[in-house]
Structure 1
């Protein structure tokens, strides 16, 4: 991915019950662009939030075939990233602090 705009790599924070349990271990979950890789996700998080990333894990989810009002359709593919930060860093977007 050449000429990457890092604000486009991270789509939104993924806030679920399971993701909130991962916050206790310093792990943050983001929905990311489908064609991004671990290195671009790491650079995007480090640049946007001024933190140091220890590890990035990626979860690919393929879209399902569904029916809507009797017509066949397909949900979009998606990708999530579980970002582990070094012990002294945290991101305040998830906790609601400033």
Structure 2
């Protein structure tokens, strides 16, 4: 397995009502690379967003959904989601501002 660089770890933010409500507690949700570890997610967030300090990282693997097109069945790709808890004195992540 090739090593994953920090800029390849975070794929995109998750924008849902539940994730927006968790931002009040400084919890941010991201889709991450399926082979990324918690320590790699922590390093990526601290390097990509200046002034942030990560308190904890929770990850979850999500299976692909079963889809049907006509008579054939298939599955969507597996994904991995990470919920990042920032410390109290940490700066907020700017990409979520104004949402």
TM-score computed with the length of structure 1 as normaliser = 0.90
Deviates more, 1:77-86 or 1:66-75: 66-75
Segments of 5+ residues of structure 2 without an aligned counterpart are none
Q: Deviations over 1:4-61 (max 9, x none)?
A: 3211100001110000000000000000010111000000000000211000000111
| Counterpart position of 1:18 | 18
Segments of 5+ residues of structure 1 without an aligned counterpart are none
TM-score computed with the length of structure 2 as normaliser = 0.89
- Say what the alpha-carbon RMSD is for the aligned residues: 1.7
Asked if the contact 2:4/2:36 (under 8 Å) is kept, the reply is: no
Matched residue of 1:76: which SS? coil
Alignment coverage as a number of residue pairs: 97
